[in-house]
Structures are given as structure tokens and as C-alpha cells.
Structure 1
Amino acid sequence: MSRFPDNEIISLVGKAPRFDLAESVGPSLRLAELIDMAFGNDADFSLDYATAVGNPELRQHIASENGVDADDVVVTVGGMHALFLIAFTLCQAGDEAVVVEPVFPLARNALTAVGAVTRALPLSFDTGYRIELDALRKLLSPKTKLVSLASPQNPSGVAIPAQTLREIVALLAEHAPDARLLIDETYREAAYGEDRAAPSAACLGAEVISVSSLSKCHGAAGLRIGWAITRDKALRKALVTAKFSTVISCSPVDEALALAVFRQRERIIGERRTLLAQNLQFVEQWAQRHRGYVDWVRPDAGALCCMRLKPAVFDAAAVERFYAALAKYSTRVAPGAWFGDDPQVFRLGFGLPTLTALAIGLECVSVALTEAVRPARAAAS
């Protein structure tokens, strides 16, 4: 019946445990922070249809932050809507699309739902989730219509270097001339402290599509505002038509509130970068103290990272005991299986809680680690 496969990641939008270290977002904005700036004294806000392409002032803000023109931007109902519209527009049944694995499952689901044949480019914890160009080259063919990547990646937070992206563009031109390169840049601006955010991939050429949203870096997932950026006029027109044919337009209320977010962008993103840097340092210290139990890959940006239960310490039974212990302490991390990763890997989200809550949540993880391996150590003794 279902064209979208089930995945337990849907639990992230259900009831959360007390310490939710599975989330990939930072603190959410409050409506009161935006309402006056969005509407002022004009409470008589007209609830008409918005435009199919999106509010022109909002598109200009997005364009300015990505080094493109406002006409290159299509506003969507969250980043996921943009991913679906791109898949629906570019891929016919039987066309090939390349996705990395592990991957945010909904990005792959959008492709399989439209009948595309997905070819997985495996990324390894042991190599720091870095893309190997030779492996990508072997997956490309004249049937390839889309190569879907994320930078920084979800679940690892590892970014793709600009030089690697340019080399991928060249690979597509040579081996898959009809393909587009999609870069999900949802976490691009979630840099740490004074670190500079990577430049947008939107300027790499007409064959490159950038997707992002207000959900992760800006703390406004509930607004459901995302966007696709393409410098290909024909593709942009097709995406606008696809958007109109599926949702007509975004909510004008959401677009007005999104404008208020952009007007406070420096404060909002600055506060979150400070929090991310502080929490990342705490996670790094925690991982160092627990290096007998876990390995980790330090992320380049974003509110998430990948950790791995040491295979020499955690067999399949110990992995199950680890998750059972976490549930007992009302704590959650995101299992690697959600993303197609190894069973010992889990995604740790460190952007949502305060430092105090993060410390308590990680202490629960610490206890779960020791409880999970205790039966094996008791038997050995």
C-alpha cells in the first residue's frame, strides 16, 4: 500500500523522552519573538493565497545569504518539500539517482517514491564519512538524473569540501551529462562559535541545486519554510509549477514570520552558534572520557555527530542492552539503522538541550554504556 517505507525516525515527531539526544535541531524560537516584527500593529492580516514562487522579499533575503539572485529561489513548504519537488520533476520511473549512505531517510524516500532507482554511495565511519570520488564515478552513467548529497551530512555533520564539490560537478559533466547535483545545505550555517560558515554550493553552476530551510540553523521548524535554489530558468519554472500543482503556495502567515526570522537572523544564528560551540566542546570531552566504549567523528557543522559503540566491546546483544538501558532512563539517541549505518553507530544530537540538560542526558548515556557491557564482563570474571 505505502509508497514511502516505514522508518522509526518518525518517532522524532512523537512524544519525546526527557533527554532527547536523537534530535538534530537547536532550541526552537518562540512565536512571541517574531509576532510583533512580522505584523506590528496590523492585526488585520489578510489570509489570501501567497504566490506560487514565494514572497519576493523573503526570496531576496534567501538569495542574499546564498550569493544568488532572488529569481533563482523557489520557496517551499520546508526543505523536505523541496527535495520531493526536485525528485518528482527530474526523475521518471527507472531513472537512476545516486544517494550516499548513511542518509537522512526521507531524502532517499522521495526518490524511490517517484520510481527512481537509487544507487548507494557508501560512506564509512572509519574514513570519517568522506566521499571517495572513484567510488562515485563507478555509480554514474548516462541514466543518472540526480546525485543527491548533503553538506554537512545528516547524520554525521561532516561537510563536503568545496574542491570535492567542484570535482563532482566535473565528474557529472563527463560521465552523467543529464544529471543534476543536489546539495542539501540545511546545516550549512550552523557553524561553531566564530567559525565561518561554508559558502553556498548554489553558485557552482546551473547544474547544481541547493536546498535548505529555517528548521535547523534558525530554530523555526514549525514554520515549514524551505527553499530550492537553481540558476536554471527552465528547472525553476518546472519547480514552481510542481509546487502550485501540489500545495498551490506556502502559507502567507508562515512567510511573514519567516521574514521576521531573517530580520533577526544575526542574533538568532549567533546565539545558536555560541550554544553549539559550547555543547560540542562538552561532547568532545565526554567522548574522550569514554573512549574505552565509543569512537566518534567530529562534525564540521550542525547540531549532530556520529558515535560508534566499539565493536570489540559491544556485540549485538550489548547493543540491544544499550538501547534498552537508555529507554529505562528516558533518554534517546538516534540509531544508525535509521540512516542505513552500522548497528553500533548512533547519531547524537547536542543542539537542543541546555548545557545542564546535555550533561544529565550524557550521564544517562554513560550509565547505559556500563550497564550494556556489564553482563559480558561479569561472565569473563
Structure 2
Amino acid sequence: MARFPDNEIISLVGKAPRFDLAESVGPSVRLAELLDMAFGDDADFSLDYGTAAGSPGLRQEIANEHGVDADDVVVTVGGAHALFLIAFTLCQAGDEAVVAEPVFPLARNALAAVGATTRALPLSFDTGYRIDLDALRKLLSPKTKVLSLASPQNPSGVAIPAQTLREIVAMLAEHAPKAWLVIDETYREAAYGDDAAVPSAAGLGDRVISVSSLSKCHGSAGLRIGWAITRDAALRQALVTAKFSTVISCSPVDEALALAVFRQRGRIIGERRKLLAQNLQLTQNWVSRHASHIEWVRPDAGALCCMRLRRELFDAAAVERFYAALARYSTRVAPGPWFGDDPLVFRLGFGLPTLTQLAIALECVSVALMDAARAGT
């Protein structure tokens, strides 16, 4: 009966522990920050249907930030909705889709739910979650309809270099000419401090689709606003029709608030980049102090990273003790198996609102590490 497989990642939208290091977002924007800009003194905001493609003003703001035209943008109910519409539109039963894994499970599930055969492109902690182009080439065929990547990746926060993306576009043209490159860029603008965000991949070619949302970099997950960008007019229209056939339109209230977010994006993103830089440095220092128990892959962007328990200290029983200890301290990280990764790996989110909160949360993880390892000695 179930079209979508169960995954414990759904717990992230349930009751949260005191310290939720399983999340990958920074502090959320407060509604009061947006109301005046979104509605002003006009209390007579009309609750009509929105447009199927998304409000023209919002699409223009999105286009401005991605170097494309407003007509290239389709606004969706969050990034996950965009991924589903793309899978539903492009894939039929028997088609093949290549998915880089570990992966945010909804990206893979959307493809599987429409009957596509998914083939995993493995990304390894040991190689820093970098894409092996030779391994990718072997997975491609004329039956490949979608190559699904994320940059920066979820759960690792590792970005795909621009040169690698260009090589992938050329590889698809040669080995899988019917394939579309889908790139989830949800964390792209969550750079650290004064670091520049990398350019969007939306302009890499006519068969490239960029997906993103307001959930991560803009601290506005509750608005449920995402988008897909494609320069192919026929695909864009197909996505608009699919959106209309599933949800008709986004909420005009959400779209108005999203427009207010974009118009304050300099402040909103700037504050979060400063916080992320501070929190990343604290996290890096914490990893250095616990190098005998843990190792990590430093992320390129986003409030997330992958850490791995040392194999010599943590067998399966010790891993279970580690998570049990975290629960006793009302602290949570995201286990690697949620994303198809090694059980020794976990995703740690360092986007807590203050350094003090993050420091306390990391100390809870420290105690859990020691408790779990000590019990096995």
C-alpha cells in the first residue's frame, strides 16, 4: 500500500529534544519581522487562489538571485514538492535515475514512487563525499532520465566544484542524452561569514534543473516556499501543469511573506552567515578535542556536517549506547542510516541560535561519546 518508504527522518517534524543537533537549519525568522513589509497597513489582503506558476514578483526576485529570467522559475510548496513534480513529470516506470547517496531520502523516494529504477552513485566519508566521475560514467545509459545531485550535499554540506559540474553536464550529453541534471541547491547561500556563495548551477545548460527553497539559508521553513528553475519552456509548462494538478497554487499569504523575506535577504542571510561561521569554528574546535573518538568532513556551506565514530572504539553495541546516552541528555543527532550512510556516521547540525546553546549541546554529545566508549572497555 505504501508508495513512500518509512524513514525515521520524519521525527524531525515531531517533538524536538532540548538540543536538536539533528536539524540542518539555522535560527528561524520570526513572523513579526515580515508582516509590515508583506502587508503594511492593508488588512484587507485578499485570500484568493495564487497563480499556478507563482506570483510574478516572487518569481522575479528568485530569478534575480539565480541569473535567470522570471519565466524560468516555478514556485512550489517547498523544495520537496519541486523534487516530486520533477520526478513525476520526467520519469515513468522503467526509466532509470541515478542518485548520489547518502542523500536526503525524499529526493530518492520521489523518483522511486513514480516507478523509476534508482541507481546509487556512492559518496564516501573516506573520500570526503566527492563525486567519482568514472563511477558516475559507468551508471549512465540511454535509459537514464534523471541524475539527482545536491550541492552542497545533504547530509555532508560538501559542495560539488563548478568544474566537476561542467564535466558532468558534458558527460550526460555524451552518455545519457535524454537525461536531466537535477541539482538541489538548498544550502548554496548558507556560506560562512564573508565567504562568497558559489553561483547557481541554473545556467549550466538547458537540461539542468535547479531546486531550492527558503527553508535553510533564509530561516523560513514554515512558509513552505520552494522553486524549480529550468530554461526549457516545455518542461517549465509541464511543471506548472503538474503543480496545478496537485495543489493548484501556493498560498498567496506564504508568497507575500516570501517576497518580504527576499526583500530583506541581505539582513537575513548576513546574520545567519555570521552565526554559521562562529558555530562552525566552535564545532571544529570541539572535533579537535575529541579526535580520539570522532572524525569529520568539514562542510563547504550550510549548518550541517557529517561525523564518524572511530571504528576502533565503537562496535554496533557502542553505537547503540551512544544514541541511548544522547537521549538521556535530551540531545539528538541524525543517524547516518537515515540518509543511506554508514551506521558509524551521523549528521550534526550546528545552527543553534547562540554559541552558548551549541556549546552546551556539544558537551552533551561529549558525555555520550565517553559513556558509550567507556562502557565497552
TM over 0.5: yes
Structure 2 residue 254 is matched with structure 1 residue 254:
yes
Q: Secondary structure, in 3 states, of the residue corresponding to 1:343?
A: coil
AA matched with 2:297: V
Looking at structure 2, the residues matched to 200 and 35 of structure 1 have their Cα atoms a distance apart, in angstroms, of: 29
1:322 shift after superposition: 0.2
CA shift digits 1:308-352 (9 cap, x unpaired): 001111111100000000000000000001000000000000013
CA shift digits 1:266-306 (9 cap, x unpaired): 00000000000000000000000000000000000000000
Looking at structure 2, the residues matched to 376 and 177 of structure 1 have their Cα atoms a distance apart, in angstroms, of: 53
Looking at structure 2, the residues matched to 177 and 315 of structure 1 have their Cα atoms a distance apart, in angstroms, of: 45
Looking at structure 1, the residues matched to 264 and 101 of structure 2 have their Cα atoms a distance apart, in angstroms, of: 35
The aligned counterpart of 2:318 is 318
Q: What is the 5 A alignment of 1:267-278? A: 267-278=267-278
Structure 2 residue 350 is matched with structure 1 residue 343:
no
Structure 2 residue 223 is matched with structure 1 residue 228:
no
The aligned counterpart of 1:116 is 116
1:82 shift after superposition: 0.2
Structure 2 residue 312 is matched with structure 1 residue 327:
no
The aligned counterpart of 1:22 is 22
Q: Secondary structure, in 3 states, of the residue corresponding to 2:165?
A: helix
Q: Is the 8 A contact 1:59 1:73 kept in 2?
A: yes
The aligned counterpart of 1:41 is 41
The aligned counterpart of 1:82 is 82
The aligned counterpart of 1:153 is 153
CA shift digits 1:199-241 (9 cap, x unpaired): 0000001000000000000000000000000000000000000
The aligned counterpart of 1:104 is 104
The aligned counterpart of 2:216 is 216
The aligned counterpart of 1:71 is 71
Structure 2 residue 177 is matched with structure 1 residue 177:
yes
AA matched with 1:233: A
Structure 2 residue 281 is matched with structure 1 residue 286:
no
1:181 shift after superposition: 0.1
The aligned counterpart of 1:4 is 4
Matched residue count: 377
1:353 shift after superposition: 3.5
Looking at structure 2, the residues matched to 350 and 184 of structure 1 have their Cα atoms a distance apart, in angstroms, of: 21
Looking at structure 1, the residues matched to 286 and 252 of structure 2 have their Cα atoms a distance apart, in angstroms, of: 44
The aligned counterpart of 1:307 is 307
Q: Is the 8 A contact 1:23 1:352 kept in 2?
A: no
The aligned counterpart of 1:59 is 59
Q: Secondary structure, in 3 states, of the residue corresponding to 1:347?
A: strand
1:376 shift after superposition: 2.3
Looking at structure 2, the residues matched to 48 and 2 of structure 1 have their Cα atoms a distance apart, in angstroms, of: 34
Looking at structure 2, the residues matched to 155 and 353 of structure 1 have their Cα atoms a distance apart, in angstroms, of: 20
Looking at structure 1, the residues matched to 353 and 30 of structure 2 have their Cα atoms a distance apart, in angstroms, of: 15
Looking at structure 1, the residues matched to 299 and 100 of structure 2 have their Cα atoms a distance apart, in angstroms, of: 17
Looking at structure 2, the residues matched to 230 and 109 of structure 1 have their Cα atoms a distance apart, in angstroms, of: 22
1:94 shift after superposition: 1.0
AA matched with 2:199: P
Looking at structure 2, the residues matched to 237 and 228 of structure 1 have their Cα atoms a distance apart, in angstroms, of: 12
AA matched with 2:90: L
Unaligned runs of 5+ residues in structure 1 are: none
Task: Name the TM-score, length of structure 2 as normaliser.
Answer: 1.00
1:354 shift after superposition: 1.5
Looking at structure 2, the residues matched to 170 and 336 of structure 1 have their Cα atoms a distance apart, in angstroms, of: 32
Q: Secondary structure, in 3 states, of the residue corresponding to 2:376?
A: helix
AA matched with 2:149: L
The aligned counterpart of 2:372 is 372
Q: Secondary structure, in 3 states, of the residue corresponding to 2:120?
A: strand
Q: Is the 8 A contact 1:53 1:75 kept in 2?
A: yes
AA matched with 1:262: F
Task: Name the TM-score, length of structure 1 as normaliser.
Answer: 0.99
Looking at structure 1, the residues matched to 143 and 240 of structure 2 have their Cα atoms a distance apart, in angstroms, of: 25
Looking at structure 1, the residues matched to 373 and 219 of structure 2 have their Cα atoms a distance apart, in angstroms, of: 37
Looking at structure 2, the residues matched to 74 and 20 of structure 1 have their Cα atoms a distance apart, in angstroms, of: 32
Looking at structure 2, the residues matched to 149 and 120 of structure 1 have their Cα atoms a distance apart, in angstroms, of: 11
Q: Is the 8 A contact 1:24 1:352 kept in 2?
A: no
1:375 shift after superposition: 2.1
The aligned counterpart of 1:91 is 91
Unaligned runs of 5+ residues in structure 2 are: none
Looking at structure 1, the residues matched to 137 and 194 of structure 2 have their Cα atoms a distance apart, in angstroms, of: 36
- Could you say what the CA RMSD is over the residues aligned between the two structures, in angstroms? 0.5
1:18 shift after superposition: 0.3
Q: Secondary structure, in 3 states, of the residue corresponding to 2:306?
A: strand
Looking at structure 2, the residues matched to 153 and 354 of structure 1 have their Cα atoms a distance apart, in angstroms, of: 24
Q: Secondary structure, in 3 states, of the residue corresponding to 1:228?
A: strand
AA matched with 2:307: M
Looking at structure 2, the residues matched to 66 and 353 of structure 1 have their Cα atoms a distance apart, in angstroms, of: 28
Looking at structure 2, the residues matched to 309 and 341 of structure 1 have their Cα atoms a distance apart, in angstroms, of: 13
Looking at structure 2, the residues matched to 328 and 232 of structure 1 have their Cα atoms a distance apart, in angstroms, of: 52
AA matched with 1:218: H
Could you tell me the percent identity over the aligned residues? 84
